[in-house]
């Protein structure tokens, strides 16, 4: 579901907590380490990318109607040149309503022994609780304008189209663009469907349009490595809530970052800290 909603997951010792990824990079200082002896700064190569794969994996249908499906694979690109990487935020589950309909057409009461191409596929279906039941959103249940597809009033999963999924990832898309402030450009989608959708209080979303740089990066792609104290107080803070930033000084300059890793040898009160640079502007 991270591919759809930009979520993070954390185990707090009692339960798993799933929430918006930005909550794992809170702009709140949790630890102050003071002056460190040596600081190694490096480029976070894995956080740079110039190609983005979004939406869902490619699908195949036996008739032409399947080409009216928006929830398929999409490829975007930015102006990055120095580091050639791909950010793959495609969902492992499917969201195509045509695939849902084809899988339902095989009535299990009469075809329970027949294998279909969809037997091992899982699908997302967008809806809401309606008392003790679940109501599926169809077409205009949740949108005021839908253009570019057949039978718009019956379409499912328009809340989780590739473009809408990607717009929830803006603070990740902007990480490699923090210097250029460049756009993320549409390259292709599997069927090239020019779908546009609009909710009453939101702007129109065009599936095949570019995405401008509009949101500050979640962090900056620079890595800090150093050794510093690892006190009992620090350990208790990390167990309680490690999702704010750590502040330290090196040669009189103040730095801050979010924890990627902290390790220590037994009986050693010093730790090896790895942080990713905080963005103080968001």
pLDDT digits (tens, 9 = 90+) for 59-102: 887 666 668 899 999 999 998 877 889 999 999 999 999 888 88
* Pick among 2.60.120, 2.60.40, 2.40.30, 3.30.70: CATH of 10-44+221-277: 2.40.30
Does the pLDDT of residue 149 top 70, yes or no? yes
Q: In the chain, list all ranges with CATH 2.40.30.
A: 10-44+221-277
Confidence of residue 104 (pLDDT cuts 50, 70, 90): confident
To the nearest whole percent, how much of the chain has pLDDT over 70?
93
CB 39 within 8 A of CB 73: no
CB 189 within 8 A of CB 55: yes
pLDDT at 168: 97
Residue 135, both tokens: 């109501």
Does the pLDDT of residue 195 top 90, yes or no? yes
Confidence of residue 132 (pLDDT cuts 50, 70, 90): confident
Per-residue exposure over 132-150, b if at least 16 CB sit within 10 Å of its own CB, e if not: eeeeebbbeebbeebeebe
Count the helices and strands in the chain (H runs, E runs).
Answer: 6, 17
Residue 70, both tokens: 């928006």
pLDDT at 112: 57
């Amino acid at each position: 579901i991270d591919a759809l909603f930009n979520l993070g997951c954390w185990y707090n010792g009692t339960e798993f907590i799933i929430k918006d990824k930005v909550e794992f990079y809170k702009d709140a200082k949790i630890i102050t380490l003071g002056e460190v002896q040596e600081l190694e700064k490096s480029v976070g190569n894995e956080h740079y990318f110039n190609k983005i794969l979004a939406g869902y994996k490619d699908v195949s249908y036996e008739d032409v109607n399947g080409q009216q499906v928006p929830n398929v694979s999409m490829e975007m690109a930015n102006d990055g040149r120095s580091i050639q990487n791909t950010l793959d935020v495609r969902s492992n589950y499917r969201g195509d309503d045509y695939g849902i309909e084809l899988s339902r057409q095989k009535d299990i009461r009469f075809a329970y022994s027949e294998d279909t191409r969809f037997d091992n596929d899982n699908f997302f279906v967008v809806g809401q609780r309606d008392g003790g039941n679940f109501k599926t959103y169809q077409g205009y249940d949740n949108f005021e304008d839908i253009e570019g597809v057949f039978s718009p009033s019956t379409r499912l999963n328009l809340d989780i189209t590739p473009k809408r999924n990607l717009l929830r990832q803006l603070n990740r898309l902007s990480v490699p663009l923090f210097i250029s402030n460049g756009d993320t450009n549409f390259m292709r989608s599997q069927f090239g469907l020019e779908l546009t959708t609009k909710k009453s209080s939101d702007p129109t979303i065009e599936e095949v349009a570019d995405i401008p740089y509009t949101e500050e990066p979640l962090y900056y792609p620079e890595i800090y490595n150093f050794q510093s104290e690892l006190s009992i107080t620090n350990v208790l803070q990390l167990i309680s809530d490690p999702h704010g930033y750590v502040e330290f000084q090196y040669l009189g300059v103040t730095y801050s970052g979010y924890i990627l890793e902290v390790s220590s040898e037994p009986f050693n009160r010093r730790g090896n800290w790895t942080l990713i640079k905080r963005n103080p502007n968001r």
